[in-house]
Chains A and B, each alone.
With several copies, the nearest count.
Chain A
């Protein structure tokens, strides 16, 4: 095999396909079982220190914040993060000291809101290490390779750039066209946290709106923890089985967590809580501020329900529902500053 180029980024989450098949056969149950549990139990059981983790959704869209807060609450350490399209998820996990290594497609930024003070500080000071670069499509396709049980997927992006040079991809000559082509190694995260609109107690999941890369990521995951706006009867799944994005045998734990994506956006349910994200961005400008945030919103609360009371309870959540449905105007600290 002539290899034209080998990216120098660290190869995280890759397994020989045969090794992964053996793992699947031994660890993933094909039986229809009631998988309902608590977040405390699920995170304690499936997220060991040092694990490689990834989040469903899109960084601040449909992110399982309930699971992320529980990881922080349990003081998980030395996690490696798949920064596929990382926004709020990676920022708080890095700031809390849970994540100390990250492969980056997108991270350290909050799109229109600006850069992330806390995680940038962690990276620039060396507390969090960037182990490899990649692009959004590139990461997405690393998960596709894993979902297909393949060692790699080819792509025509990243070629000729430092992004590729610092990735874990290799470049070969395509034996069909004779042109150089990049091969993206599969990525199987140890644990994936994913928030969905509804699922049954077995873990058969439906999502409204864009799937982003959750189809592939759910199938790439070794352990898949599902938080859901609601647990529905099996009947709802079986009456429209073509709506199932994730079948139960991919899922290890199911936790009912209404508003579990707050302060991120849940399509057709609730919009970004810009006041809360704004509070985070303001406090996280210093380590002390970030610590204050975690003390208030994570360590001092028993569980996610208590957190929801703290951020404004029913009234706040109703407002976010209205903004999502275009029934109330958006308020945002960063928007105020532009005026």
Chain B
């Protein structure tokens, strides 16, 4: 059976499944990198991987540590600049983007800047980095993060990166690119999308062994729970083998 997969393997597999062949994706280090490489080695061989520091379409030999690592432009089609890739994103060339966060709200807005008050931080986090950029201009952003009541919050301590702001039409009213925004959220408990009408987060599927009660107990805001909730498919042994090939040292997947 498949039950000996790790939580990270499951996340990588679910994330990979969201990526379409022939599309482009803005990739960060860690899990997004693994997911994109898994997609390339399974259903999406022609997925274009782009890194914010300038690497475009590399043939990544081993997992990079940084998004500016030389592995991110190893045998790439272009080793360019941040100006080039951020401009491409702003002009609509980037389909998917991955984001992580310390906090998320019902509209998919993200905080990676500060816990507590901005000028008197309890915990100072790294800030936007490329997150605001990715969240602003990628057509579909995929958020991968840990879920609990301190992280799934009604009100963020700081809105670093735009989700749907305060609801339908808010992105467009703010001047953000039309038709873009959060697409899916993946946590250790389940997979979410956003309700078309309210732009609030909605449960799409729970991971194997997770109940809807678990889901709700780990969110400080009210999630939309539809009548029909699916269950995510766990990674097959073959997928797990590929994941081990991609990350032989267990840098991301763990040992």
Contacts and interface: CB of A to CB of B under 8 A. Distances in A.
Contact flag (A, B; Cβ within 8 A):
yes
Interface of A: 17-18, 20-25, 28-32, 57-61, 83, 85, 87, 104-109, 111-113, 115, 120, 123-124, 130, 133-138, 140-141, 144, 146-150, 155-163, 166, 171, 174, 179-182, 202, 204, 209-216, 219, 237-239, 241-242, 244, 247-249, 265, 267-268, 271-272, 324, 326, 329-330, 335, 338-339
Contacts of B88: 219
B13 to A, nearest CB: 19
A163 B159 contact: yes
B54 A111 contact: no
Query: Chain B binding site: helix, strand, loop or mixed by DSSP?
Result: loop
A228 to B, nearest CB: 16
Interface string B142-162: 000000000000001011111
Given A22-B179, A30-B22, A210 B46 contact: no
B97 to A, nearest CB: 12
B73 A209 contact: yes
B250 interface: yes
A60 B87 contact: no
Given A156-B136, A339-B250, A20 B91 contact: yes
A212 B113 contact: no
A124 B136 CA distance: 28
A330 B92 CA distance: 37
Contacts of B57: 32, 247-248
Given A31-B22, A57-B68, A159-B174, A249 B128 contact: no
Interface residues of B, number: 86
A180 B183 CA distance: 24
Given A32-B57, A137-B130, A21 B161 contact: no
B79 interface: yes
Nearest to B180: A21
A105 B127 contact: yes
Contact of B128 (A106, A115, A324): A106
Contacts of A149: 87, 89-92, 137
B29 interface: yes
A247 B80 contact: yes
A120 B124 contact: yes
Contacts of A166: 118
Interface in B203-255: 249-252, 254-255
Interface in B33-76: 46, 48, 52-59, 61-62, 65-70, 72-73, 75-76
Contact of A338 (B62, B78, B109, B250): B250
A241 B137 contact: no
Given A210-B53, A247-B56, A162 B78 contact: no
A148 B90 CA distance: 6
Contacts of B127: 83, 104-108, 133, 163
Nearest to A268: B70
B124 A135 contact: no
Given A32-B46, A157-B133, 16 more contacts: A17-B90, A20-B91, A28-B93, A30-B93, A105-B129, A120-B123, A134-B128, A135-B131, A136-B130, A157-B137, A160-B175, A162-B118, A210-B80, A213-B82, A238-B77, A241-B79
B165 interface: yes
Given A137-B86, A159-B176, A21 B92 contact: yes
